[in-house]
Structure 1
Amino acid sequence: MEGIYHCPANYVPLSPISFLERAATVYGDKVSIVYGSNVRFSWKDTFDRCVKVASALVQLKICPGDIVVAFAPNVPALYELHFGVPMAGAVISALNTRLDASTLALALEQLEAKLIFVDYQFTDVVLKALDLLSQKKVNPPHLVVIPECDKSSSMDRKHIASDLDYNCLLEMGRDDFRIIRPNNECDPISVNYTSGSTGKPKGVVYSHRAAYLNSLAEIFRFDMRQMPVFLWTVDMFRCNGWCLTWAMAALGGTNICLRNVSADIIFDAVSLHKVTHFCGPPAILNTIANAPARASSQSPFPCSVNVVVAGSLPNSEILTKVEGLGFNVYHGYGMTEALGPATIRPWKPESDSTFEIEQEEIRRREGLHNLLLEGVDVKDPKTMESVPNDGKTIGEVMFRGNILMSGYLKSTEITQETLKGGWFHTGDLGVRHPNGYLQMKDRAKDIIISGGEAISTLEVEAVLLSHPKVSEAAVVGQPDALLNEVPCAFVKLKEGFGASAEEIIEFCGDQLPDLMIPRIIVFGELPVNFSGKVQKFAMRETVNANTSLANC
C-alpha cells in the first residue's frame, strides 16, 4: 500500500527488557524485591544492578547469542539475571537445581554455555558436572558463585576454583553501559528444559517476542493488573517462572523472593507482605491444606490471594479446605513449549445458582480463548480436522499463536514434527463439550485402550486420589491377552495409614465403570524424575517386565 514506511520510529523489536526500563522510570522508588528481613531493592536499584550485570558480562567476553546458565533457587540474583543476561545480548538458561551432576553436565554440553552462575549451596554438584565435562575434553563454562544476598562470599568461595562471585561481578559493571537490544524480536532470549516426564528432557528455545507477549498474556490470565505482590513459590527455572519474572516488571509489582518454601513461610508472607498471587505445582495446595493450626490460624488474610497451579488437581477435599482458608484457586494447563500455563480457569465447587453457573461458563471460555493465544483446539492429528463438540470424540489438544516456543535446541526434525500443519501438537488428548469447554483426557502415550474403549488414566487417578488413605496415585496400562490393556494402579498411602488392594479396588468400583477399575494395585513410592514428576514410562517398563504382576 502506498505511503507505508517502516522505520525505527514505528517499529521496535519486542523484548521484555523494555519492561524493566519502564519500571525504573515509572515505579523507580517502589519496592521491586524483598528477600528475607534485610534485603530490599527498588525498581531503580534493580535496573541499575541489571545494567551492571550486563556490562560485566560483556567485559567477560560474553557475546550476543552466547548462552549463560544459572543454577540457583529463587534468590534476587536469579531474578536480576533474567534481565541482565538479555541486556548483554546473551541467552539465559536457568536450570533445575535438582539435577544430578551427570544430567547437568549433559545439559551444559548441549548448551555450550560460556558462563554458569551457581548459588553457593549448589557448588558441589556443579563442580562435579564441570569435572565430568573436562574428562570428556569439553570446555567447561567459567563459574561465578552467587553468595547469600546480604553476606560476603569469601567463606563460600575459599574451596572453589572461581575468580569471581556475583558481588564482584556487580562491582565490575558500569552504570553507563549501553544495553544491547535484539536486532530481531525473534532472536532467542532463553532456553528452558522440559521436565522429562516422558523421556529425555529437551531444550526449548524462547524468543524475545514470545516472552514479551506471553508476559502480557500472564497479566490477564492471572488477573494481575493492580501492582501485585508476588510470592515466588514457583521455580524461576520453570519456563522463566512462567514468564512472571518479566511480567512483574511490566506491572511494577513487588517480588517476594524465597530460598525455600513451606506452609509457615507462605502464611507469614501473605500476612506480612500482603501477597496477592503465588503459583506452583498442585502439591503446594497439599502444603497449605495440611498446614498446622498455628499457621492457618492467621486467616483471614489482609487481601485476596490468588493461587495458580498447573498439573493434576488434588481431590476436592483439599481444594475446598484451601479455599476455606482464604485462597482463590485457579487451575492452569500448559507445558514448557507454551511458555508455561496456556489456559487458566478458576476452580469452584458446584453451585446451584443460575448466575454463578453462567459466570463460570464465561470464565471457562475466557480461560480457553484468552488474549494472545490465537487458537486452542482438539483435532484429529491425521486429518487435522477439529473433532465434534460432543464431549465424546477424542482428539489431540493443539495450540497456535505468538506465545509458543521457537523450537527445540539442536533438534530441527523434532521441532518440525511438533509444529506440523501450522499447529503445536501437545501430545495430550482431550474432548470438546457442546459449551466449548475443553476436557483433558490423557497424554497420548498414557491413554489405555481396553476392549476397543479409551480409558483416561487421569480420571482413574482422580478417583484413587479421592480415597481418604491415598496420598499419591498413578495409572498405566497392563498388557492383557483378551482386552489388549487393563488399568494398573501404583499407589502411595498416607503416612500412618494401611489399606489392602481389595479395599482400593472396591472403592474404585463404586465410582467407575467396570472397564476403568484397576485390576492390579502396586503399593509403594512412585517413580519420579528430578522435577518430582511421575515417570509413567518407568512404570510401564515395570509392568511389562512383570506380566504376572499381582497385587502387592
Structure 2
Amino acid sequence: MLELQFAVPMAGAVICNLNTRLDPNMLSTLLNHSEAKILFVDYQLLRMTEEAIDILKKTHSKHPIVVVISEHGSWCEYESFVAGGASEFSIIHPNNECDPISLNYTSGTTSRPKGVVFSHRGAYLSAISSVFMRGMGEMPTYLWSLPIFHCNGWCFSWGVAIVGGTNVCLRRCDPKVIFDIIVDHNVTHLDGAPTVLNMIVNSLSTNQKRLSHKVEILTGGAPPLPTIISKMENLGFYVKHIYGLTETGGPATSNLWKPEWNLLPHEEQMKIKARQGVKSFMMEEVDVKDPITMESIICDGKSLGEVMFRGNTIMSGYFKDLNATEEAFAGGWFRSWDVAVKHPDGYIEVKDRCKDIIISGGENICTIEVESVIYSHPGVLEVAVVARPDDHWGQTPCAFVKLKDGVDVDGQETIEYCRNRMPHYMAPRTVVFDDLPRNSTGKVQKFALRDKAKLMGSLSY
C-alpha cells in the first residue's frame, strides 16, 4: 500500500484506498462508483474481492483488473505485475497541481459513503503540515496502527517519507503486538482513533510492556476522553490531539500545548488535551460560526457554533455529487457539521455532531460531555449517548453502555453516578447495557442507537 501511494500518482493515475472491512456489496458499489480500472488486493482479502467482482458481473457493470499481492494464485500477481513494467518509464506529472491525486470514501456513518476528491496540491501541503504539526524529526520509526484508507493515512503515507522515516506495518491492531513492535523496533510515532487508544489502555496488563522512551501518538476522528488520555500517558505515550475530516485531507487543527499548562493540576491538563486546538499553518482559516448568520461566535468557551474551514487542503468536491458538494460549501466555507465552542485563547473544542445535540427542556446537552462522565466510571468499557423522545421535555439523554468483563452495575447506579458529577438535566434518564454497533471504520453508529431509543417511546406520560 505504501508503494502504491507513490506509484499510482507517478503513473498519472488516481489512487483510491478502500476500507479493508467492507463487505462484498459495499465493495462492489464503490468499485462501480469510482470506475476503478485496476484493483490491488492482499491475498487474505481475495475471497471478498471475488464476491464483489461477481456482483459487478451479474449487474453487467465494468469490473477492474485484479492484481493480488501474493506469491501464488490464479489472478495476476503483484510482484510479477511490477517486474513486467518498463524500467525506463518516466514519471507522469499532473498537468495542473489541482488535478486529483486520490479518491477517498468517507466512513458513511449514516448513509452510503461519499467520494472525496483530493488534489495534488492539497496532498503536498497536507503531507508537509502533518510532519510539522507533530514536530517529527529526521528518520523516525512510524508504526502503522492507523489505516492508510483513512485519508491516505492522514497524509503520513507521504509525510513520513519527507523525513526519511522507517515504516512498520500491522495486519491488525493487536495491543500485545503493538507493545512488542514498539520495544523491538524502537518505534517513535504512531497514530489512531480513540478506539485504538481504548484498546491499548484496556489490554491485559501481561501484554503491556514498559516503554524506555516516550512514544508520540496523535489521536483524532472523535474527541478523546480525558480519562483515556491520562491512562495512555501513564503507559509511556505522549498524546497529542488533532482534528480533521476526510474532506480536509486529515489533520486540520492540533492542540498545540502551552508550557504554562504544565503547572495546572493533572486532571485539568487532561481536559485541555481533549480540545481540538488551533489551525495548522497550511490551513487558511478555521472558525466556529453561527450556521445561519455565518457570524463568528463569541470566544467564551460556552457559545455553540459550527466548525468551518477554508484553504488549499480542503477537498475539491464529492465525486459525481454536485448537490452534496454545493451543500458542503454553502456560504463559501466548508461545513463540518460539528458543533463546537471557542475558548478565549482561540482554541476550539468540539462538543458534538450537529445531529447528536440533545435539546431537553430548551437546554442544549452535548452528548460527548455526558459520555465523558459515564466513561470515568471504573466499570465502563464503552459508552454512547443519544436522544430519547420525551413528551414533556422534548428529548432526554439515553446512554448505551458496554461494561468491562466481570463488572455488575445497574442502570440506576449509573444514573446516580452521573447526577453526582453533572447537572441533573444532563444526566441520562435511561441506561441500556449492550454492545455498541459500529461501521466499517469502527465508528459508533449513533443513528442505529437513535432508532432504538425512538422505539422506546417517551418516559413522560
Q: Please give the TM-score of this superposition, normalised by the length of structure 2.
A: 0.94
Structure 2 counterpart of 1:322, from 217, 228, 232: 232
Following the alignment from structure 1 to structure 2, what is the Cα–Cα distance between the partners of residues 205 and 538? 28
Structure 2 counterpart of 1:401, from 311, 321, 341: 311
Shift, 1:174, TM fit: 2.1
Q: Which residue of 2 aligns with 1:413?
A: 323
Q: Which residue of 2 aligns with 1:20?
A: none
Shift, 1:369, TM fit: 3.2
- Comparing 522-531 with 239-248, which one deviates more in the overlay? 522-531
Say if 2:39 and 2:65, in contact at 8 Å, map to a contact too.
Answer: yes
Following the alignment from structure 1 to structure 2, what is the Cα–Cα distance between the partners of residues 195 and 115? 22
Secondary structure of 1:91's aligned partner = coil
Following the alignment from structure 1 to structure 2, what is the Cα–Cα distance between the partners of residues 269 and 501? 40
Structure 1 counterpart of 2:180, from 265, 268, 277: 268
Q: Aligned runs of 1:34-113 on 2, under 5 Å?
A: 78-113=1-36
Say if 1:333 and 1:341, in contact at 8 Å, map to a contact too.
Answer: yes
For these two proteins, the number of residue pairs brought into alignment is 459
Shift, 1:305, TM fit: 1.4
Following the alignment from structure 1 to structure 2, what is the Cα–Cα distance between the partners of residues 319 and 213? 29
Q: Which residue of 2 aligns with 1:503?
A: 413
Residue 346 and residue 307 in structure 1: after superposition, are their counterparts in 2 closer, same or farther (change >3 A)? Answer: farther
Following the alignment from structure 1 to structure 2, what is the Cα–Cα distance between the partners of residues 294 and 482? 50
Aligned-CA RMSD value: 2.6
Say if 2:390 and 2:459, in contact at 8 Å, map to a contact too.
Answer: no
Structure 1 counterpart of 2:426, from 516, 522, 527: 516
The question of 1:126 aligning with 2:49 is answered yes
Shift, 1:177, TM fit: 0.5
Say if 1:329 and 1:347, in contact at 8 Å, map to a contact too.
Answer: no
Which deviations, in whole Å up to 9, do the C-alpha atoms of 1:51-98 show, x marking residues without a partner?
xxxxxxxxxxxxxxxxxxxxxxxxxxx111111111111101010010
Following the alignment from structure 2 to structure 1, what is the Cα–Cα distance between the partners of residues 41 and 275? 42
Structure 1 counterpart of 2:156, from 213, 219, 244: 244
Say if 1:314 and 1:465, in contact at 8 Å, map to a contact too.
Answer: no
Following the alignment from structure 1 to structure 2, what is the Cα–Cα distance between the partners of residues 500 and 367? 37
Residue 245 and residue 360 in structure 1: after superposition, are their counterparts in 2 closer, same or farther (change >3 A)? Answer: same
Say if 1:477 and 1:540, in contact at 8 Å, map to a contact too.
Answer: yes
Secondary structure of 1:426's aligned partner = strand
Residue 111 and residue 351 in structure 1: after superposition, are their counterparts in 2 closer, same or farther (change >3 A)? Answer: closer
Shift, 1:439, TM fit: 1.6
Say if 1:380 and 1:395, in contact at 8 Å, map to a contact too.
Answer: yes
Following the alignment from structure 1 to structure 2, what is the Cα–Cα distance between the partners of residues 321 and 519? 29
Say if 1:364 and 1:437, in contact at 8 Å, map to a contact too.
Answer: no
Shift, 1:286, TM fit: 2.6
Shift, 1:298, TM fit: 3.7
Which deviations, in whole Å up to 9, do the C-alpha atoms of 1:283-337 show, x marking residues without a partner?
2223332344444344223xx3101111445554443232122210111211111
Residue 469 and residue 313 in structure 1: after superposition, are their counterparts in 2 closer, same or farther (change >3 A)? Answer: farther
Q: Aligned runs of 1:217-366 on 2, under 5 Å?
A: 217-301=129-213, 304-312=214-222, 315-345=225-255, 353=263
Q: Which residue of 1 aligns with 2:115?
A: 203
Shift, 1:132, TM fit: 0.6
Shift, 1:525, TM fit: 1.0
The question of 1:181 aligning with 2:59 is answered no
Residue 239 and residue 314 in structure 1: after superposition, are their counterparts in 2 closer, same or farther (change >3 A)? Answer: closer
Following the alignment from structure 2 to structure 1, what is the Cα–Cα distance between the partners of residues 257 and 232? 11
Following the alignment from structure 1 to structure 2, what is the Cα–Cα distance between the partners of residues 115 and 509? 56
Secondary structure of 1:440's aligned partner = strand
Say if 1:289 and 1:322, in contact at 8 Å, map to a contact too.
Answer: yes
Shift, 1:538, TM fit: 1.2
Secondary structure of 2:51's aligned partner = helix
Following the alignment from structure 1 to structure 2, what is the Cα–Cα distance between the partners of residues 129 and 137? 13
Which deviations, in whole Å up to 9, do the C-alpha atoms of 1:516-546 show, x marking residues without a partner?
1111111111121111111111111122223
Structure 1 counterpart of 2:296, from 380, 386, 396: 386
Residue 522 and residue 360 in structure 1: after superposition, are their counterparts in 2 closer, same or farther (change >3 A)? Answer: closer
- Aligned residue identity for 2:126: N
Say if 2:277 and 2:347, in contact at 8 Å, map to a contact too.
Answer: no
Residue 361 and residue 238 in structure 1: after superposition, are their counterparts in 2 closer, same or farther (change >3 A)? Answer: closer
Residue 389 and residue 481 in structure 1: after superposition, are their counterparts in 2 closer, same or farther (change >3 A)? Answer: same
The question of 1:166 aligning with 2:46 is answered no
- Comparing 450-459 with 432-441, which one deviates more in the overlay? 432-441
Q: Which residue of 1 aligns with 2:281?
A: 371
Secondary structure of 2:16's aligned partner = strand
Shift, 1:496, TM fit: 1.4
Residue 506 and residue 380 in structure 1: after superposition, are their counterparts in 2 closer, same or farther (change >3 A)? Answer: same
Following the alignment from structure 2 to structure 1, what is the Cα–Cα distance between the partners of residues 95 and 456? 56
Structure 2 counterpart of 1:463, from 360, 369, 373: 373
Residue 360 and residue 96 in structure 1: after superposition, are their counterparts in 2 closer, same or farther (change >3 A)? Answer: closer
- Comparing 316-325 with 235-244, which one deviates more in the overlay? 316-325
Shift, 1:228, TM fit: 1.5
- Aligned residue identity for 1:451: G
Q: Which residue of 1 aligns with 2:338?
A: 428
Following the alignment from structure 1 to structure 2, what is the Cα–Cα distance between the partners of residues 354 and 505? 30
Which deviations, in whole Å up to 9, do the C-alpha atoms of 1:149-207 show, x marking residues without a partner?
xxxx22xx14xxx2x11011111012210110100111111111111123221111100
Following the alignment from structure 2 to structure 1, what is the Cα–Cα distance between the partners of residues 449 and 96? 44
Following the alignment from structure 1 to structure 2, what is the Cα–Cα distance between the partners of residues 351 and 469? 30
Which deviations, in whole Å up to 9, do the C-alpha atoms of 1:435-471 show, x marking residues without a partner?
2121211100110111111110110111111111111
- Aligned residue identity for 2:317: G
Residue 456 and residue 380 in structure 1: after superposition, are their counterparts in 2 closer, same or farther (change >3 A)? Answer: same
Say if 1:214 and 1:403, in contact at 8 Å, map to a contact too.
Answer: yes
- Aligned residue identity for 2:15: I
Q: Please give the TM-score of this superposition, normalised by the length of structure 1.
A: 0.79
The question of 1:445 aligning with 2:355 is answered yes
Following the alignment from structure 2 to structure 1, what is the Cα–Cα distance between the partners of residues 341 and 432? 30
Following the alignment from structure 2 to structure 1, what is the Cα–Cα distance between the partners of residues 274 and 410? 39
- Aligned residue identity for 1:485: Q
Following the alignment from structure 2 to structure 1, what is the Cα–Cα distance between the partners of residues 83 and 262? 62
Q: Tell me, which stretches of 5 or more residues in structure 2 are unaligned? A: none
Following the alignment from structure 1 to structure 2, what is the Cα–Cα distance between the partners of residues 473 and 362? 21
Residue 387 and residue 136 in structure 1: after superposition, are their counterparts in 2 closer, same or farther (change >3 A)? Answer: same
Say if 2:225 and 2:274, in contact at 8 Å, map to a contact too.
Answer: no
Residue 448 and residue 293 in structure 1: after superposition, are their counterparts in 2 closer, same or farther (change >3 A)? Answer: closer
Q: Tell me, which stretches of 5 or more residues in structure 1 are unaligned? A: 1-77, 148-152
- Aligned residue identity for 1:165: E
Secondary structure of 1:445's aligned partner = helix
